[in-house]
Structure 1
Amino acid sequence: MALHSVLELLQKRNTLHDIEVKGWVRTFRANRFIALNDGSTLNNIQCVVDFENTDKEVLKRITTGAALHITGELVESQGKGQDVEIIVKKLIVLGESDPETFPIQPKKHSFEFLRENAHLRTRTNTFSAIMRLRSSLSFAIHKYFNENGFYYMHTPIITGSDAEGAGEMFRVTTLSDSNPPKNDEGKVDYTKDFFGKEANLTVSGQLEAETYAMSLGKVYTFGPTFRAENSNTSRHLAEFWMIEPEVAFLDLDGNMDLAESFLKYVINYILQHNQTDLQFLDQRLKDEEKTKPADQRSEMSLMEKLHFVVENQFKRVSYTEAIDILRNSKPNKKKKFQYLIEEWGADLQSEHERFLVEKHFKCPVILFDYPAKIKAFYMRLNEDGKTVRAMDILFPGIGEIVGGSQREERLEVLKSKMGDLDIDKKELWWYLDLRKYGTAVHSGFGLGFERLVMFTTGMGNIRDVIPFPRTPQNAEF
């Protein structure tokens, strides 16, 4: 007898005798109709119980959340709402669920409540759809890079360097927290620590990925990164995942080509393979938008945003041109922007990025050649001495989704920039070596995976697109 998934059975159009299915009860109506789900699809399959010939004690154990093993016959449904259903011949309760205490009842729950029950929230339609999409996006990312000649590398999670220079890192130590060894200056003596130096959780795998790009040509990382930023906004996590390709002999123009191709590929993949989940989330977002004031509603539905990205060429605009557009825009002149654009050198906010995408150009936008003062030390300095070969990709509804650059390949220029920013050259001796031995033009970008999942699912809080969010004062589960 064959064990089938719910997805497989729902796709059948013919009668099947003696099938088996296992899953969890979503609802049980009239002591007869079980809505069963096993996580393989958003949709449940209806299982019809013969009330008269089923042990009444067994029926009492069939409650929301219970795990069942059902044997029966797949037939054409006699009711509305489904094409097929299972006539139950044998039913085993594998695991009971206490109906009085089971948190995920068949009713609407707040996202805050579901975050408090993150171990059970994938029993809901919304979160099962999100996590299936997250899985599909992960697969599509690896598939794209594999098909395009990239090598997957694992960069260190424990590191002695701060790639972003932000300093907001989680320390890794085995020293005593109450009485750590001290040096002659009275400071903690990290030479006595496990690694013989101060170590932290990584904020990025980029610098290490560059070392491999300069020998393997095209590499990418896809792994966890960490930032000790004490922020409780809907866009920040302390632990998140990053996709970071690095490519030798690639300039900024090629980097923009790569990023556009990559984003369109992974979004196209879920449009082809996750239609049911996307349509459900699209409708969820439409229903949510109806509850907002008219002036706060999104102009595009979720599906429209996804097609907006894959069907439009990304517009490439210099930072300087973007500043001119924003400075002269109606929202800026009428002081509608929360952050007014007054002069060149301003760090753009989400409201500015969305205006460029949604109002001005009406397509995804790639901004490039940013002021050096607002970008990282490793970005290649332009001949004007004030801008760097950086690029950000802007999407509707979310603003920046990708940040990248052509890396500074000139040894003396890189050393000078590190000196200006007081970055310890001794700590990054190995990174400087790349510029001493066979240096070449190279580029890469970073994509916060959860930002991508937020965009493709329409979720408004980053805590709802990662299985177990890590935020200030929260490391539950």
Structure 2
Amino acid sequence: MISISVNDIYKNYVAINKKVLIFGWVRNRRHSNSGISFIDVYDGSSVHTIQCIINNTIVNYDSEVLKLTSGCAISVQGVLVYAFRSIQKYEIKVIKIKIIGWVDSPQNYPVSAKKHTYQFLREIPHLRPRTNYIGVVTRIRNHVFHALHTFLYEKNYYWIPTPIITSLDSEGAGSMFRVSTLDMKNIPTNVRGEIDFNKDFFGKESFLTVSGQLTAESYACSMGKIYTFGPTFRAEHSNTTRHLSEFWMLEIEVAFAKLNDIISLSKSMIKYVTQFILNTCTDDINFLYDNIDKNIFFRLENCLLYEIIDINYNDAIKILLNSNYNFNNPVQYGLDLCAEHEKYLVDKYFCAPIIVKNYPKKLKAFYMRVNDDKKHVAAMDMLVPGVGELIGGSQREDRISILKERLLECNLCIKDYNWYLDLRKYGSIPHAGFGLGLERLLSYITGIKNIKDLIPFPRNVNHLLC
């Protein structure tokens, strides 16, 4: 007897008319007056369920089968056949069914077969994976994760797990979560009445990282081509559809590279992932087309068909100023692009992903390389339809004197960055890199607007369930 998944069945992994064994959960069940029950079983491997046909002649029909409810865990042995008069392609004629886990008080089961609002599902993150909606997202997330690793592996990049706990604010934004073992009821202070972090676990202030970039650079300056991929944290008091306090970031650093090199890399990476998902997640993409986004195939196929163009920041500002569009936020040279500006560029003007590059240096972080005009930095942002900014990167400042100037301009303590300056002191090289938010990439691919539905357990301000 072959133990298989629902996904195996729909990929014709086994031959028809053979005995099979599946494990899963009941999504729907109905009982006919003629003594036959129909059970729809899902196992998380596919958007599909498999219908199991159970005759009342099996031994536990009256004692257990008739008592099954949505959510019960079962194993089923039977013969796989083509479905007769059913919208499903396959079904199983059951020989034996075993109930592995019952649902207590089924009338209160939160994720029964009826349709639920997304907001309701966010309140039960531990149970929402049982829905098709979150199951689809989870499978696509897994394949995107695999595609990114595969793309970089094939290009001979090394994966480096950079620290999650840090003493530095990579972005200079200050919105960080503090890590401490101090007794909050008896916080030690120094002679100035300030918190005495010398008595904390690390002997200094420490935080959850907002980026692994700076530490990743140290490995790029010895290994050549590296990336880090893991959770990052931002303590921003934002509760929008675009913000999370904990999210996943892919960050790439390349030695002996300049801005145009990482622009080219980012374009080819996005196209690779898009093609990978279209090839491997057909059923899940079809589900999203039917239930979430009728534009999904047009968007993803356009990404593959057309070149992603580059424009300078100055040109982006000109386009926005000439648009006569009523923006809520001002458009002006020297001001950063807001989400509405980004979305106008990709959703209305270009109707495609673009890259905006060469920003005024005052808008960007200290580590970005200053251009020859002294006014701009070699920075790039990839903007995509429906999302806005997806990737942010730059050529890194490799000249130690200018890097020190930038640290001072950004009111950062040079002493804290001595180790980072060492990378420019001992064999400095041109190098560049970028960061990609995984959940934003998922939003672009799936068409799902609320980023809280694209991570298993969303964390944001005033929201910490599970």
Equivalence for 1:43 = 48
Q: Which amino acid aligns with 1:322?
A: A
State the match for 2:110 in structure 1.
103
Aligned to 2:295: 301
CA RMSD of aligned residues (A): 1.3
* Cα distance in structure 2, aligned partners of 1:360 and 1:475: 38
Letter in 1 for 2:19: D
Q: Does residue 224 of structure 2 align to residue 234 of structure 1? A: no
The one-letter code of the counterpart of 1:324 is K
1:314 aligns with 2:312: no
**Match 1:68 to one of 60, 66, 74:** 74
Deviates more, 1:148-157 or 1:24-33: 24-33
**Gapped runs of 5+ residues in structure 1?**
287-299
Structure 1 CA distance for aligned equivalents of residues 266 and 224 of structure 2:
17
3-state SS, counterpart of residue 49 of structure 1: strand
Q: Could you report, residue by residue, the CA deviation over 1:252-275 in whole angstroms, capped at 9, with x for unpaired residues?
A: 011100111111111111110001
Partner SS for 1:75: strand
Give secondary structure in 1 for the equivalent of 2:119.
Answer: helix
The secondary structure found in structure 2 opposite 1:230 is coil
Give the TM-score of the pair, scaled to structure 2: 0.96
**Amino acid in structure 1 at the alignment position of 2:79:** E
Query: CA offsets, 1:101-147, max 9 Å, x none?
Result: 21111111011111111111111111100000000000111101100
Partner of 2:450: 461
Q: Is the 8 A contact 1:10 1:45 kept in 2?
A: no
What are the superposed Cα offsets for residues 53-79 of structure 1, whole Å, 9 maximum, x if unpaired? 453011233110001111111112112
Amino acid aligned to 1:8 = D
Query: What is the number of equivalent residue pairs in this alignment?
Result: 459
Cα distance in structure 1, aligned partners of 2:307 and 2:269: 13
Instruction: Give the alignment partner of residue 404 of structure 1, picking from 393, 396, 414.
Output: 393
- Residue by residue over 1:304-346, the C-alpha shift from the partner in whole angstroms, topping out at 9 and shown as x without a partner, is 1111222211111000111112111232xxxx222242x3112
Query: Deviations for 1:71-109, whole angstroms, at most 9, x for unmatched residues?
Result: 111112112212221000101000011321211111110
Contact 1:209 1:246 in 2 (8 A): yes
Match of 2:414 among 425, 443, 455: 425
1:330 is paired with a residue whose SS is coil
Structure 2 equivalent of residue 164 of structure 1: 171
TM-score (norm 1): 0.94
**Cα distance in 1 for residues equivalent to 2:255 and 2:385:** 31
Partner Cα separation in structure 2 for residue 189 and residue 318 of structure 1: 47
Matched-pair contact (CA < 8 Å) for 1:381–1:388: yes
Q: Which residue of 1 aligns with 2:324?
A: 330
2:62 counterpart residue number: 56
Written as runs of structure 1 = structure 2, the 5 A alignment for 1:160-309 is 160-286=167-293, 301-309=295-303
CA distance in 2, matches of 1:15, 1:369: 59
Query: In the alignment, what sits opposite 1:28?
Result: 29
What is aligned with 1:470? 459
Matching of residues 431-450 of structure 1 within 5 Å: 431-450=420-439
- Supply the AA of the counterpart residue of 1:315: I
Mapping of residues 104-143 of structure 1, within 5 Å: 104-143=111-150
Q: Tell which deviates more after alignment, 343-352 or 407-416.
A: 343-352
CA distance in 2, matches of 1:83, 1:324: 55
Pairwise CA distance, 1:474:
1.8
Q: What CA distance in whole angstroms lies between the structure 2 residues aligned with 1:193 and 1:362?
A: 52
What letter matches 1:146 in structure 2?
Y
**For the residues of structure 2 that align with 1:358 and 1:64, how far apart are their CA atoms?**
41
Where structure 2 has 5 or more consecutive residues not aligned to the other structure, the ranges are: none
Which residue identity does 2:150 align to in structure 1? Answer: K
Q: Following the alignment from structure 2 to structure 1, what is the Cα–Cα distance between the partners of residues 100 and 42? A: 14
- Map 1:376-395 to 2 at 5 A: 376-395=365-384
Asked if structure 1 preserves the Cα contact closer than 8 Å seen for 2:6 and 2:45, the reply is yes
Percent of residue pairs identical? 45
Whole-Å separation in 2 of the counterparts to 1:9 and 1:363: 37
CA contact (8 A) 2:394 2:432 kept: yes
